[in-house]
Amino acid sequence: MDWDGARIIGTEENKLKRWIKEAMEIRRRAERAMNRDEGGFMLSHTWDTTLQRKHAWWDGRVVGLTMTCHYGVDVVGPAHLETLLGVPQIPAVKTCQLTCHAVSETLLRKDRVLAKLSSRYFLWKLVTVLLMQTPWQNSFIWPLVVFLLSCCIYPLASSCAHTFSTMSARARHICFFFDYGALSFYSLGSAIIYSAYVFPDKWVSSSFHRWYIPIAVFNTVICTFLACYSRLGLPFLQYNHDIVKRFPEYQSPKFSKFLRVAAFAYPYLFDNIPLFYRVFLCVGEGCTDNGTNILHYKHIALAFLTGFLFATHLPERLAPGSFDYIGHSHQLFHVCSVLGTHFQMQALEQDMVTRRPWLVHNSFPITFSNSGGPALFCVLLNLAIIALFSLPLLSAPVCKEKDHGKGPKKASAKPRPCC
């Protein structure tokens, strides 16, 4: 090796930025690279074709892509790479050209299509219930309506969050704030319908049953707050439009992931206390042992599998690059969550039909205060929390290019990207 003829092609003090630039340069050079490995950043091989394309505008600064990585951050999009590498985005047309060649992004779009289809399926079920069951004349159906409404919202919010999150850093955070709010609303919808149809006979009208929904509302608020906090920290105190005093998510993904998993696992485990007791622990009379339990078993199994996939990023963690086309944990996550919600809905409908005569005479009467009222209150609180966390990002100034003269611009001047 001719060390005298070696030259430095770039310098970077930030370790993560340096790893990303190194991995992109190694992948771009392909066989001409002399590195023994692929660098410190595990870049997906689905981008080999894109990174090795010979275009005049390629100079190692391409950030208008959405690439799958295995560094702990689920998806690195344009805003992420712009923040990491400190370079402006390329024009929108070239961004589209790159995206068309990104298989990983194509598969993420398939996940979004699945989310949209599932949302339409649950919307069809909701319309069927509204037309066939006439809930405006029968308050016993109200918990089912609230639950189906939450089932329609959370896949749609997830799809919109992944679709519009690549617009900018601000858009990504705000979109996922709404995604977290929709998921917490779904957890409350599950609690409301569990209180109406699922509680075992011996727990019906007990003190725990009386306080079950108020505690679920409180858990929903905590869930939304913690999930939003896991991204940037406390609004105004730890971040605003141009200052992030707390760690960014991409620099400490494990802590952010832990907070997010805890934020959604806690309300789920609480909401399912009556169901877990009914199907796993209860023995003897008053246990509500009927044919619906097999559907509850399927839902519980898929729910735990969904959480496992979200927390562990398996199987791509074991073989990076091998599951970028099919079998990625995010794909399996969406499939399992939708199937689990489907079995949950079937079990709840069956419980509602088979237990209705007994519940009407022995349980609390279903009113607006224990069905639609908590759901509406939860929506308002979630919107307030989302607005609180989004306000520092929405207050960012609009960047405008100023022409101070007709002379040529200095070579050292760098464009200042807006979030």
Least confidently predicted of 95-99, 138-142, 369-373:
95-99
83 plus 112 within the same structural domain: no
pLDDT of residue 251: 60
The answer to the question of residue 400 being in a domain is no
Higher pLDDT among residues 93 and 289, named by residue: 289
Q: Is the pLDDT of residue 358 over 90?
A: yes
Q: Mean pLDDT over residues 222-228, rounded? A: 95
Q: Do the Cβ atoms of 242 and 418 come closer than 8 Å?
A: no
Distance CA 88, CA 79 (A): 10
Residue 412 lies in a domain: no
Residue 289 CB contacts under 8 Å (≥ 6 apart), including other chains: 282
Is residue 313 domain-shared with residue 233, that is, in the same domain?
Answer: yes
**Which one-letter DSSP state was computed for residue 13?**
S
Residue 51 and residue 27 in contact, taking contact as beta carbons nearer than 8 Å: yes
Helix, strand, coil % over all residues of the chain, rounded to 5: 65, 0, 35
- Write down which residue in 74, 100, 126 finishes a domain: 100
Number of domains in the chain: 2
Residue 10 belongs to some domain of the structure: no
Last residue of some domain: 61, 78, 100?
100
Would you list which residues are annotated within the binding site? Answer: 162, 330, 334
The residue that leads in pLDDT, 408 or 187, is 187
| 93, 117: one domain | no
Domain assignment present for 119: yes
- Mapped onto helix, strand or coil, the DSSP state of residue 309 is helix
Q: Among the listed ranges 92-101, 134-143, 235-244, which one has the minimum average pLDDT value?
A: 92-101
Residue ranges of the annotated binding site for Zn(2+) are: 162, 330, 334
Residues 214 and 349 occupy one common structural domain: yes
Over the stretch 259-290, which tens digit does the pLDDT of each residue have? 899 999 999 999 999 999 999 999 888 888 88
User: In this predicted model, what pLDDT tens digit does every residue of 364-375 receive, in sequence order?
Assistant: 999 999 999 999
Residue range 378-394: mean pLDDT, rounded: 94
Q: Are residues 174 and 205 in the same domain?
A: yes
- Provide mean pLDDT across the span 232-239: 85
> Do residues 291 and 375 share a domain?
yes
Residue 169 lies in a domain: yes
Rounded to whole angstroms, the Cα distance separating 365 from 370 reads 9
CB atoms within 10 A of CB 245: 11
Same-domain status, 36 and 62: yes
Share the mean pLDDT of the chain. Answer: 78
The answer on 107 and 90 residing in a single domain is no
Is there a single domain that holds both residue 113 and residue 82?
A: no
Confidence at residue 45, expressed as pLDDT on a 0 to 100 scale: 67
Dist. CA 109–CA 325, nearest whole Å: 12
Burial class (CB in 10 A: 0-12, 13-18, 19+), 208: exposed
Task: Provide the pLDDT confidence category of residue 393 given band limits of 50, 70 and 90.
Answer: confident
More confident residue, 283 or 63: 283
The pLDDT score that the predictor gives to residue 49 is 66
Q: How many CB atoms lie within 10 A of CB 22?
A: 19
With 90 as the cut, is the pLDDT of residue 348 above it? yes
Q: Domain check: are 73 and 163 in the same one?
A: no
- Angle of helix 372-394 relative to helix 169-197, nearest 10 degrees, comes to 170
For 84, the domain range is 15-100
Residue-level pLDDT at 110: 53
pLDDT tens digits for 291-347? 899 999 999 999 999 999 988 888 888 887 778 778 888 889 989 999 999 999 999
Average pLDDT over residues 94-113: 46
User: Mean pLDDT across the stretch 89-99?
Assistant: 40
Over residues 196-208, the mean pLDDT reads 95
Q: What pLDDT does 90 receive? A: 40
Q: Does the structure show a pLDDT above 60 at 40?
A: yes
pLDDT of residue 360: 93
Assign 129 a pLDDT band (cuts: 50, 70, 90).
very high
Of 55-69, 190-204, 253-267, 270-284, least confident by mean pLDDT is 55-69
Residue 407 domain-assigned? no
Q: Is the dihedral of CA 211, 213, 214, 218 positive or negative?
A: positive
Record the tokens describing residue 239, joined without a space. 């971040």
For residue 98, the tally of other CB atoms under 10 A from its CB is 22
Same domain assignment for residues 277 and 293: yes
In a domain, 174, yes or no: yes
Lowest mean pLDDT among 67-76, 152-161, 264-273, 278-287: 67-76
To the question of pTM greater than 0.85 for the whole model, the response is no
- Rounded Cα distance, 186 and 182, in Å: 6
Burial (Cβ within 10 Å: 0-12, 13-18, ≥19) of residue 238: middle
Amino acid at position 419, single letter: C
Which tokens go with 18? Answer: 């340096």
Lowest mean pLDDT among 62-66, 217-221, 228-232, 296-300: 62-66
Q: Is the pLDDT of residue 389 over 80?
A: yes
The CATH number of residue 119's host domain is: 1.20.1070
151 & 263 share domain: yes
Report the distance separating Cα 63 and Cα 60, nearest Å. 9
Most trustworthy range by pLDDT among 34-38, 60-64, 187-191: 187-191
User: In the predicted model, what is the mean pLDDT of residues 378-395?
Assistant: 93
Residue 216 included in any domain: yes
Tokens representing 369 are 């205060």
User: What's the pLDDT at 276?
Assistant: 96
Is the pLDDT at 246 greater than 80, yes or no?
Answer: no
